[in-house]
Amino acid sequence: PYVQRAIKEVLVSVYNVLSLRTGRSVITAKVIQSPSNESSKELILQQALNLFAERGFSGASTREIALAAGVNHALIKYHFGNKEELWRHAMDFLFKRLDQTMEAVAREAKGIEDTVERCKVYLARYIRYCAKHPEHARIMIQESTGENPRLAWVVRNYFVPTRRILEKDYEELMDRGSI
C-alpha cells in the first residue's frame, strides 16, 4: 500500500504537469483517480471528439487521445479496437447526447400548436446545443468536405432517422410557403 500510494503520488504529479506539444496545440494529460469502466470510456470518447474536431480523423492519433484522456493507449484498443471504431463510438456518443437534448425539446414543443413556433423552439435548442458542444459542428463540417465512408455512415445512421422526425413539420411549412 505505501509503495503504491507513493507511486500514485509521483504519477499524479508527473501527469499534472505533463503536456505533449504538437504542431498545432498543447494537449495536457488528465489524471483519473480509479476510473470506472464507463467513466473512462466516456472520457476517452469526449477527448476523441475534441481531437477529431480539432484535427480531423486523419490528424488525430489514438495515442494523443489516450494522453488527453489520461489513460493507457491499450485501453483504447481494449474498448474500441481501432481508430475507425473509436470514431464510430464517438459519433454514437455525440448523437446520443444530441438525441437526449432533442427528446427533451420534443416534449416541450409537443404542446405548441403553431408549426412555425414549434420549429423555432427546435432550432433555438439545437443552436444552444451546438454552442455547448462545438465539437459536433466542427466534426460534421470536416467530414462533409469530401466523400468518405465516415460521412456516409453518419448520414445513414443519424441524419436520415432525424430527418424523418421533423419531416412532417417541414412539409407543412413548405406547403404553406413559410420556407
pLDDT at position 94 is 95
φ/ψ (deg, to 5) at 22: -115, 180
What angle is formed at CA 43 by the lines to CA 38 and CA 48, rounded to 5 degrees? 125
Helices 115-132 and 160-176 pack at an angle, to 10 degrees, of: 140
Q: Look up residue 107 and give its amino acid.
A: R
Helix or strand (DSSP H, E) at 27: strand 26-28
Helix or strand (DSSP H, E) at 95: helix 83-109
The owner of cell 424523418 is: 164
Q: Look up residue 23 and give its amino acid.
A: G
pLDDT at position 156 is 87
Q: What is the pLDDT of residues 139-153, one digit of tens each?
A: 998 888 877 899 889
Q: Look up residue 1 and give its amino acid.
A: P
Q: What is the pLDDT of residues 64-86, one digit of tens each?
A: 999 999 999 999 999 999 999 99
- pLDDT tops 70 at residue 32: no
CB count within 10 Å of CB 152 equals: 11
- pLDDT tops 60 at residue 18: no
Q: C-alpha grid cell for residue 178? A: 413559410
* Burial (Cβ within 10 Å: 0-12, 13-18, ≥19) of residue 163: exposed
Q: Look up residue 104 and give its amino acid.
A: A
CB count within 10 Å of CB 140 equals: 17
* Burial (Cβ within 10 Å: 0-12, 13-18, ≥19) of residue 100: exposed
